[in-house]
Copies of this chain bind each other. A is one copy, B any other.
């Protein structure tokens, strides 16, 4: 197990961080916490990457609070790490060099909703469910839905997506502008509220996916979508993963504006049946959803059913009741917890890759064969409309051989995706866990450019150090 832990650096000089903590205590009172329990909760907790707690946790309430914290830390070269809901999977919130964690729990307000413009302005601590609850009676919603009820600041920082991305895009497509506190404590606004612009370098997209290594987001302007008139969900069984993938490709190529199209392999269906009390046939399955007018949804549903039948799938069963639909998608979002239930006592490890959709069937099938050959337990779920899938590994951390086989499998998973012109992560981000794959994916010139950008924007390397390209 030791080899899985991020190695701790030699004990650093405690004086700078103690200076910062003393100054923060004076300013923030009981909004500064240094207890071991709270610190541990703010390091990585969800995956097998070791927990590296920050030295203290502070709860800012305004952008000015964030500026003050960053300035104090910059003066002493103490790391700052932003924290939303703590649901990241690659160690993004860990503090390998210690430092101050900024928990955005108290910055979770909706600052403005512009329904006519289909946008809103929020603070980074609000979660996606809180936001949609707030928007509910205004006819609009925010479509990006990672499995967890993540915070919007965290979702922007990891370039998150989810089941709706095939129709509505990812965070990169749904953030119009950001307010960001930079490493020197200054506040930058990356863009205005106009839907498009050709004015200057795209700083918004530079910050999205930067995982807090280039600055700390304190405000987001988000694109919203109108709540569709009709939402129709359903499930469709397939004889094989290939048949489900081919149906997906054809559905998208035909121009059916499918809102969600999610693959569960047979093992995942078994897990979800048990965890979510469903009674689905244990065969590869697509969970599908269509948005539109009554006529358009009826047409989409019919066409999808025809395509599925062509590949030996079906019948497509439409969930007629709203509760049934909710239960279906709750089951999909609970896939991770269902996986955990498959093999109690083991540790869950969720990894994701993304390939061009034409390679998806092949990539998933090869991965399933690899799982079997490696004697591992690992259901697969996928946002297949985007070519993105997740492998949920249930690992017995006491079994050294299994741990070694898991490591080797994960390397091959990424190599396989890269060989198919894919990426080492479709939506989980790099954090600490996937740093080692960046060179193979991007090549030296691109990685050099990332490093150069990091250096010039954060010359003291205090913004979430030890992630992406900072070592």
Interface string of A143-181 (1 = CB under 8 A from B): 000000000000000111100010001101100000000
What are the residues of chain B within 8 A of A437 when measuring CB–CB?
199
* A174-206 CB contacts (< 8 Å) to partner B: 182, 186-203, 205-206
What are the residues of chain B within 8 A of A197 when measuring CB–CB?
159, 354, 423, 425-426
Judge whether A202 and B208 touch: CB under 8 Å.
yes
* A417-441 CB contacts (< 8 Å) to partner B: 417-418, 421-430, 434, 437-438, 441
Chain A contact residues, CB within 8 Å of chain B: 114-119, 139, 158-161, 165, 169-170, 172-173, 182, 186-203, 205-206, 208-210, 214, 225-226, 228-229, 249, 252-255, 257, 292-293, 295-296, 299, 354-358, 386-388, 417-418, 421-430, 434, 437-438, 441-443, 445-447, 449-450, 452-457, 468-469
Q: Return 22 A-B CB contacts under 8 Å, by A number.
A: A116-B249, A116-B253, A117-B357, A158-B198, A159-B197, A172-B196, A172-B202, A188-B449, A193-B421, A194-B387, A194-B421, A194-B426, A195-B356, A195-B357, A197-B423, A199-B424, A200-B441, A200-B442, A200-B469, A201-B449, A203-B450, A453-B456
What are the residues of chain B within 8 A of A206 when measuring CB–CB?
201-202, 205-206
A253 to B443, CA, bound (A): 43
A interface: dominant SS: loop
The answer, among B114, B253, B449, for a CB contact under 8 Å with A115, is B253
Known: A187-B445, A453-B456. 9 other contacts (CB 8 A): A114-B358, A188-B449, A195-B354, A198-B426, A200-B438, A200-B446, A200-B469, A201-B450, A453-B453
- Distance in angstroms from A194 CB to nearest chain B CB is 4
- Distance in angstroms from A354 CB to nearest chain B CB is 4
> Can you name the residue of chain B whose Cβ is closest to the Cβ of A357?
B117
A454 to B428, CA, bound (A): 29
| Closest 5 pairs between A and B when the two form their complex, measured CB to CB | A205-B205, A197-B423, A116-B358, A188-B445, A193-B421
What are the residues of chain B within 8 A of A191 when measuring CB–CB?
423
Judge whether A194 and B354 touch: CB under 8 Å.
yes
Interface-central residue, A201, A225, A429, by most chain B CB under 10 Å = A201
Judge whether A192 and B421 touch: CB under 8 Å.
yes
A425 to B94, CA, bound (A): 40
A203 to B450, CA, bound (A): 8
A92 to B120, CA, bound (A): 34
What are the residues of chain B within 8 A of A468 when measuring CB–CB?
200-201
What are the residues of chain B within 8 A of A422 when measuring CB–CB?
192-194
> Can you name the residue of chain B whose Cβ is closest to the Cβ of A119?
B356
What are the residues of chain B within 8 A of A445 when measuring CB–CB?
182, 186-189
What are the residues of chain B within 8 A of A292 when measuring CB–CB?
255, 296
> Can you name the residue of chain B whose Cβ is closest to the Cβ of A446?
B188
Judge whether A118 and B188 touch: CB under 8 Å.
no
A240 to B360, CA, bound (A): 51
What are the residues of chain B within 8 A of A190 when measuring CB–CB?
446
- Distance in angstroms from A180 CB to nearest chain B CB is 9
> Can you name the residue of chain B whose Cβ is closest to the Cβ of A434?
B199
A164 to B116, CA, bound (A): 20
A254 to B165, CA, bound (A): 21
- Distance in angstroms from A79 CB to nearest chain B CB is 19
> Can you name the residue of chain B whose Cβ is closest to the Cβ of A176?
B356
